[in-house]
Structure 1
């Protein structure tokens, strides 16, 4: 005579289900909730939004570099911003345009770029631009959004004037006394 042990079968089935389903959920949860090892650095993705004003002659084909960071000296630099363009946004209608010019920094446009680098620890509080080349450029505003931590994103940094060439020019609203990255 054969005995059926449904209790043992159910327990085995539950263990198999637990081992198959829950490790995926635990792995996802560990990425979100577990702190990093102190020596481990993580990367963040930054959405960089740049407006070029509508003033005649405000556009540029020069190289534009950007440098930004937080008051803990976490300095992020993109040597050639115009090579990492994602899309152009219409200033009046922020949806993505399909038939946009290839070249960034055209008069009366808003361009968006993405950059992945080390993460800032505090909100972005300084931003500098550097124009390298022969023509002028008049940016309107720049904003940095930290996609992994919106609370670390910057406010708008307003320029609204032609940038000097070949020098860092920008805004620092950090609370620290020393200038960022050795600027004096």
Structure 2
């Protein structure tokens, strides 16, 4: 009986350590996924520009040389604070060329620790981001690892807020 109890306690401790270490390092290494029900109108309603965020997006070397697609981003925290930028790209300036990094300053509502990010691609060129790093107002920088092509006309990314909420409340 003592061995079983010890095994349960060690298992719980390992799971807690694993979930805390993911957010301590602030690197989201889970696989991105599609979010079919992402509500843009809600984001636009809440988008009161009061805080500034630095977003660095690195494009993979296996992405097309350049993209003419429209790229949008939405990110936020576990408390409903959402930041949305409807168009990051500027094809004439070389934004999102392969093997490059682009930096954006995005204004939006003040959020706590950023725990989700979704990218949206509209167009036919294709685009493969490598990483998205967000320097938040009220939290530590977080990096989300994509390294996959973004599907067309779909919000695609990460939502780690269920895991993060207990760590940041």
**TM-score of the pair, normalised by structure 1:** 0.58
Q: Does structure 2 retain, via aligned residues, the 8 Å contact 1:157–1:171?
A: yes
Counterpart secondary structure, 2:153:
coil
Q: Does 1:110 align with 2:97?
A: no
**TM-score of the pair, normalised by structure 2:** 0.63
Instruction: Count residues with an aligned counterpart.
Output: 117
Equivalent in the alignment of 2:124 = 134
Counterpart secondary structure, 1:82:
coil
Give the Cα separation in 1 of the matches to 2:65 and 2:128: 5
The equivalences for 1:87-166 within 5 A come to 102-120=93-111, 122-146=112-136, 148-149=137-138, 152-166=139-153
After superposition, the Cα gap between the structure-2 partners of 1:108 and 1:42, relative to the gap in structure 1 and judged at 3 Å, is closer
1:155, CA displacement in angstroms? Answer: 1.6
Give the Cα separation in 2 of the matches to 1:75 and 1:116: 11
Structure 2 gap ranges (5+): 1-47, 164-169
Which among 71, 96, 99 is matched to residue 78 of structure 2?
71
The equivalences for 1:35-74 within 5 A come to 43-55=50-62, 57=64, 59-74=66-81
Q: Does structure 1 retain, via aligned residues, the 8 Å contact 2:66–2:94?
A: no
Runs of 4+ in 1 over 6 A off after TM superposition: none
Counterpart secondary structure, 1:127:
strand
Structure 1 gap ranges (5+): 1-40, 84-100, 177-184
1:81, CA displacement in angstroms? Answer: 1.2
Computed over aligned residues only, the root mean square deviation of the Cα atoms, in angstroms, reads 2.4
| CA deviation vs aligned residue, 1:102-131 (integer Å, no higher than 9, x gap) | 2200010000011111111x2000000000
Higher-Rg member (1/2): 1
Give the Cα separation in 2 of the matches to 1:112 and 1:43: 19
1:153, CA displacement in angstroms? Answer: 3.8
